[in-house]
């Protein structure tokens, strides 16, 4: 069982506040052990961390909803579409076209190009 799992009605503090009661433990675990620990470490600022997280999720593949969420997070912390496209350009030779195009689709959805 995950740390902090219970049937508590406490709201999770991550991106899924409407998670069913039986899944809220995952939200609490992610908040405390992934997001909280990750963002409080020294060394990189939040903008760098978001770009790195975006790159890792795109490279991993199969994480489209998380990639999209981190596109939004990148924009929120002050990064821009051009920076995200630069990351995809750097990743292309290492991760190939399918994963790069999947990442690009999420950028286009969450941070569309200006008309």
DSSP-assigned states of every residue in the chain:
--TT-S---PPPSSS-TT--GGGHHHHHHIIIIIIHHHHHSSSS-HHHHHHHHHHHHHHH-S-HHHHHHHHHHHHHTT--HHHHHHHHHHHHHHH-HHHHHHHHHHHHHHSPPP-
Question: For position 6, what pLDDT does the model report?
Answer: 36
pTM of the predicted model as reported, rounded to 2 decimal places: 0.74
Of 2-6, 14-18, 49-53, 96-100, the poorest mean pLDDT is in 2-6
Question: For position 35, what pLDDT does the model report?
Answer: 65
Has residue 10 got a pLDDT over 60?
no
Band (pLDDT 50/70/90 cuts) for residue 37 is low
Has residue 89 got a pLDDT over 90?
yes
Tens digit of pLDDT for each residue in 62-87?
Answer: 999 999 999 999 999 999 999 999 99
More confident residue, 41 or 110: 110
């Amino acid at each position: 069982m995950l740390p902090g799992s219970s049937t508590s009605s406490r709201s999770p503090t991550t991106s899924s506040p409407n998670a069913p009661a039986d899944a809220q433990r995952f939200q609490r675990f992610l908040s405390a052990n992934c997001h909280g620990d990750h963002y409080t470490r020294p060394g990189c600022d939040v903008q760098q961390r978001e770009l790195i997280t975006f790159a890792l999720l795109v490279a991993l593949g199969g994480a489209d909803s998380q990639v999209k969420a981190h596109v939004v997070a990148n924009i929120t912390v002050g990064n821009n579409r051009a920076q995200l496209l630069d990351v995809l350009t750097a990743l292309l030779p290492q991760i190939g076209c399918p994963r790069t195009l999947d990442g690009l689709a999420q950028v286009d959805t969450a941070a569309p190009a200006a008309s």
